[in-house]
Amino acid sequence: MKFRNRAILVTGASRGIGAAIAKAFAAEGGLVIVNYRHNEAAALGVVEACKAAGGQALAIAADVTSEAAVGAMVARIADEIGRIDAVVNNAFAPYVFDPDNRTRFWDTPWSAYQTQIDGALKATYNVCQAVLPLMKQRVQGSIVNMASDLVARPSIPYHDYTTAKAALIGFSRTLAAELGPLGIRVNCVAPGLVYPTDSSRATREEVKDMLIAQTPLRRIATVEDVTGPVLFLASDWSRFVTGQILHVDGGLVMT
C-alpha cells in the first residue's frame, strides 16, 4: 500500500471532500489525522471509516484559522506519532455555491473577502508554519492545497471565494520555490464544481447542465474524483512535481 507507515494530516476532514480524501489515504494504508472544527461525531465516523478501509486514523479538533489551535494540534501529532509525511489543506470558510443568490461585487463588503482569505490562506499558512519543523527534520514532505478552477475560469463570479483561492495559489507557488531545496513539495488541486457537497447543494440543475455541456468529460465531479489527484501529489509517484496546479474538472480548464 502506497501510504503504509506514513502520517497524513487532512484539515476539514469530517465531511465532504475532506472525508473522502481521508478515507482514500486510509485505504492505501496511511495513518490519517482527521482534523475538524466542531462536529466530533462526524469526525469520529470518518475515523471509523478509515479503520474499516484498512488504515489508521486519529481525530483532532482545531480551528485552523487559529495559530494557537494549530500549534497544539501539531504538537500532539509530534508527541503521539512523531512525524507528518503529507498535509492536505482542505479546510475553508463556509461557502454556498448558489448562482441565483450570490452576492454581486457591488454588494460584497471587504469583510466577506477577509473571511474567505482567513479560511483559505491564513489557515494554510498556520498549518504550513506548524508542520514545517517536522518535515525539515526528515528532509521530505508533501503539501497539497485545495484551490479551485474558478481562479482560471470564473464561470460564475463568486468574488470573495475565488479571490481567496487565487491568493492561495500564489502562496503555494512561492512556498514551493522556498521549500524545494529542503525536499518539501507544494502543489495545488483545483477542482471544478463537486456535487454533492454541503457547499454545492444550492446549485440548480440548469447551472450544472450548463457546466456539463462545456466540460469535455460531460459530467460534474464527485468527491471520489478529487481523491486520486490528491493522493498522486502526496505520493512518491509525483516526487519531481512541485509548484503545480492540477485542475480536476473534466477538462473545463485546460492549461
Which one of the listed residues 113, 158, 161, 195 is annotated catalytic?
161
Three-state SS string over 46-105 comes to HHHHHHHCCCEEEEEECCCCCHHHHHHHHHHHHHHCCCCCEEEECCCCCCCCCCCCCCCH
Element holding 35 (H helix, E strand): strand 31-36
- Is there a catalytic annotation at residue 95? no
Could you count the other beta carbons within 10 Å of the beta carbon of residue 203? 21
Does residue 199 contact residue 96 with C-beta atoms inside 8 Å? yes
Sign of CA dihedral 222, 194, 172, 18: negative
Residues with catalytic function: 161
